[in-house]
Amino acid sequence: MFKPRPKQAEVLAYRRGYMGVAAVPGSGKTATLSYLAAQLLAETELAEGQEILIVTLVNSAATNFARQVSEYVKGDGLLPGYGYRVRTLHGLANDIVRGMPSAAGLDEQFTVVDERESNAILGDAVEAWARRYPEAPDAYLAPEYVEKGRYRTQKWAEILTETARNFIKQAKDNLLTPLDVGSMIEAYPGDLLLAEICADIYRDYDRALDYRGAVDFQDLIRLALKLLRDEPAYLASLRRKWVAILEDEAQDSSRLQEDILRALAGEGGNWVRVGDPNQAIYETFTTADPKYLREFIASDEVDGRELPNSGRSTRSIQKLANHLIDWSLAHPHQTIRERAPLSKPHILPTPRGDPQPNPADDPDAVVLFAEAYSATKEALMVTESCRRWLAANPEGTAAILVARNSRGSEIVKFLRQSGVPYVENLNSTSSTRAVVGALSRVLGYLADPKSAGKLAEVYRVWRRDERDEPLAVAEIKAVADTLRRIGKVEDLVAPRLDDWLEDMLAEEDDAQQYGDLRDFRQRVGAWLRAAEMPIDQLILTIAGDIFRDVGEIATAHMVALYLARLAQTHPLMRPPEFAAELFDIAGNRRRFTGLGDDEGQFDPDAHKGKVTVTTLHKAKGLEWDRVYLTSVNNYDFPSAEANDSFIGEKWFIRDDLNLSAEALAQLAALQTGSAYQEGAASLHARIDYAAERLRLLYVGITRARKALTITWNTGRGAATEATPLIALRAFWENEREKARAREPQP
């Protein structure tokens, strides 16, 4: 049972009105919020249809939240979910819009295109635009690239896509239609070339969505807010329905999310926002800003609270994190300092007698490497360290944190080569990819049914439940090898004159294998016959035959729906194309996205004795005994200094312009009617990015319970140690020095 500590009890004393809570990492904010939800449910006499609305950031967190609340509120013989609803912002917007689609100009059957589809539509729009205006790159390519064909076409299209995506997103966040943007451009006194380009692409992109009767995620949120503003009666009914709103991870709320929740709560309504402004890591080119939460907590109408105690990490790790806050408040770069990327409160240990005491302190377990390793050397060093530590701590948990997925994949290769047990939490989890991989193999075979090699793969998939049994492994391999050598696959799977299986029996007389292959043949035969079914039905059929685990079946179901959506928008896709799509997801080359992506919350404690490779973004909310924080160089963690490079500034674009930032600045100029100065936005973007990366570093440090190792690499040769890391190391060496001085001399 949840036993609140004093600061948590203050939050749990909430009954009505607005409350804002600033929490530190590991302070139990989600548990506190879940418990508050359960407590409100127990105490509130809900009328039919009334609920407490809980809003959180990502699907996995929503799932986790729902489970936690339902644990607290079991009883009464009711079906789960009575009296509360947990939603991400997209899920909530979807609920709101589906409640009144026609007023939002949508048909009942409107579809939501996922990230992949939206990118594909945008890609088409950009390509068409670039063909119409082949001279356009002249305005932005750096002189040495103007004449290079690849830069005029491929690279230009890439950066234009990225720029247009950010522009469209921002325009939608600002509730501007393509028509609005067009009129503003006409009315603006000067020329805003990027805005004009992006407005053209926005118009084409929007038309393409229109034609499909579809909306994208931004539309969903925009339309939800529009409904709340335009339909007062509907808003009133939603206010009646959602008697209280509890918002988790509020530091990453976009302005629109805040507007939507403020509208739903209403003046004098019930709204609790909990978040850690220091962990705001989704702000680049969005309208999110941790300052909104800070301002909310500080405002007069709000009961402001803190959850400063955390039992997660050792004191040493907490000290390091706290020092990063202090250092950022005195940041050497004035503009970053003024942006206050990190703010107090400091992380405090849990009080004495707390059910979650801090782990015993071990200052030696905090190591900040100064050496300039190459990327390979860094990976090798971390791999070797992991290997040794896991051997000594088979019950421990460890993670390697990376800033980018691609770096994660590189490190995975080293772990695999060294035989270090690992689990991935990169684009998608290993378990999701295992399911997708199995399906892609079967689908791959159906796309090429005469291939004996692919049939052998299907056999492995068919016996995947036995892959951990040493005896079976050898046998499966032997049979798969035999199948791989079959000359005429049809003689096994669809025999007419010759029957490979009967011949084999005659030769080898292995009754068990015969029976096994007969079953296999029957299954494959059914799939061959089913190959023409709509893709979702085909996937469900296969899944029903090869998966037993409920989670796997659920994932397969998501895959079925995902492919069905693809089929709807790409009517010419057939088994080979579907198989290729799944193959890309299984190989981590494509993200498995969408509202239906219900990947479960990653649980580090379920992977004891293995090291998790994860991006920093995906590590949020998670903790491990030992953490390796890698690549802390001035490429992944820049500080707006002269020698820093910025991902948003492409080498082939003139004058270090960050085109996305410039396009957004032009949009802002259009809206406010103010003057636009080229280059200013690019400089400003460096500050924003540096601030966000500082918070990301803070997130990384605070994932560690007992041990933390920070390393950096020289990237492609030119990267240097990140400025904050230099500061942290100096601080830590000083601390160690002081500690040594305090130690009794022998």
User: Interaction with other proteins in 590-609: which residues (CB under 8 A)?
Assistant: 595-598
Closest approach of Cβ 214 to other proteins, in Å?
6
Q: What span, in angstroms and rounded, lies between the C-alpha atoms of 487 and 483?
A: 9
Residues 494-523 that bind other proteins (CB under 8 A): 494, 496-497
Per rule CB under 8 A, is residue 94 in the interface with other proteins? Answer: yes
| Shortest Å, Cβ 427 to other proteins | 18
- Residue 153, interface with other proteins (CB under 8 A)? no
Per CB under 8 A, contacts with other proteins among 291-330 are none
If one asks whether residue 176 binds other proteins (CB under 8 A), the answer comes out as no
In the complex with other proteins, the residue whose CB is nearer, 82 or 133, is 82
Q: Which residues pair with 304 in a beta bridge?
A: 20
Residues sharing a CB contact under 8 Å with residue 83, sequence separation 6 or more, in sequence order? 41, 44, 46, 50, 51, 52, 73
CA angle 453, 456, 462 (to 5 degrees): 150
Is 419 a binding residue for other proteins by CB under 8 A? The answer is: no
Interactions with other proteins, residue window 519-558 (CB under 8 A): 525, 528-529, 531-534, 536-537, 540-541, 544, 550, 553-554, 557-558
Contact between 120 and other proteins (CB under 8 A)? no
The single residue among 1, 187, 233, 506 that binds other proteins, judged by CB under 8 A, is 233
- Give the binding range for other proteins (CB under 8 A) out of 82-90, 141-149, 652-660, 668-676: 82-90
CB 215, min distance to other proteins, A? 6
DSSP-assigned letter for residue 151: I
Does 480 bind other proteins (CB under 8 A)? Our answer is no
214 makes contact with other proteins (CB under 8 A): yes
Interface segment toward other proteins; rule CB under 8 A; list 98-106, 276-284, 456-464, 704-712: 98-106
Nearest in space to 252 (alpha carbons), one of 620, 518, 679, 557: 620
Q: Show the tokens assigned to 332.
A: 């050497």
C-alpha span between 686 and 639 (Å, rounded): 8
Is 48 or 364 the residue whose CB approaches other proteins more closely? 48
List strands edge to edge, sheet with 704-710.
Answer: 366-368, 704-710, 624-629, 398-402, 611-615, 422-425
- Please pick, from the candidates 13, 105, 144, 518, the single residue that binds other proteins as defined by CB under 8 A: 105
372 binds other proteins (CB under 8 A): no
Question: CB within 8 A of 284, min separation 6: which ones?
Answer: 688, 689, 692
Residue (203 or 460) nearer to other proteins, CB: 203
Q: Among 96, 199, 288, 560, which residue interacts with other proteins (rule: CB under 8 A)?
A: 560
Strands 51-56 and 214-215: unpaired
Pick from 670, 611, 663, 563: nearest CA to 430: 611
- Answer whether 384's CB lies under 8 Å from 614's CB: no
Q: Which residues of 363-395 are buried (b: 16+ CB within 10 A; e: fewer)?
A: bebbebbeeebebeebbbbbbebbbebbeebee
Q: Which is nearer to other proteins, 80 or 355 (CB)?
A: 80
Question: Is residue 10 within the footprint of other proteins (CB under 8 A)?
Answer: no
Tokens of 130: 């670039």
d(CA 728, CA 317): 11
- State yes or no: residue 377 binds other proteins (CB under 8 A): no
Element (H, E) at 708: strand 704-710
Q: Distances from the Cα of 315 to the Cαs of 312, 348, 623, 705, in angstroms?
A: 9, 9, 15, 10
In angstroms, what is the minimal distance from the CB of 481 to other proteins? 21
Among 2, 4, 72, 98, binds other proteins (CB under 8 A): 98
> Binding segment for other proteins among 86-94, 164-172, 336-344, 644-652 (CB under 8 A)?
86-94
Instruction: State the minimum distance, in angstroms, from the CB of residue 167 to other proteins.
Output: 20
By CB under 8 A, is residue 234 in contact with other proteins? yes
**Can you give 310-350 as a three-state secondary structure string?**
CCCCCHHHHHHHHHHHHHHHCCCCHHHHHHCCCCCCCCECC
Minimum CB distance to other proteins smaller for 592 or for 698: 592
- Give dist(CA 192, CA 185) in Å, integer: 8
Residues within window 447-476 making contact with other proteins, judged by CB under 8 A: 447-450
- 266 contributes a contact to other proteins by CB under 8 A: no
From 230-238, 342-350, 468-476, 727-735, give the range in contact with other proteins by CB under 8 A.
Answer: 230-238
Residues with Cβ < 8 Å from 484, sequence gap 6 or more?
452, 453, 455, 456
Among 12, 103, 142, 726, binds other proteins (CB under 8 A): 103
Figure out which of the listed residues 43, 107, 300, 507 binds other proteins, where binding follows CB under 8 A: 107
**Binding track over 36-65 against other proteins, x by CB under 8 A:** ------------xx-x--------------
C-alpha to C-alpha distance for 214 and 223, rounded to whole angstroms: 12
CA pair distance 48, 240, nearest whole angstrom? 11
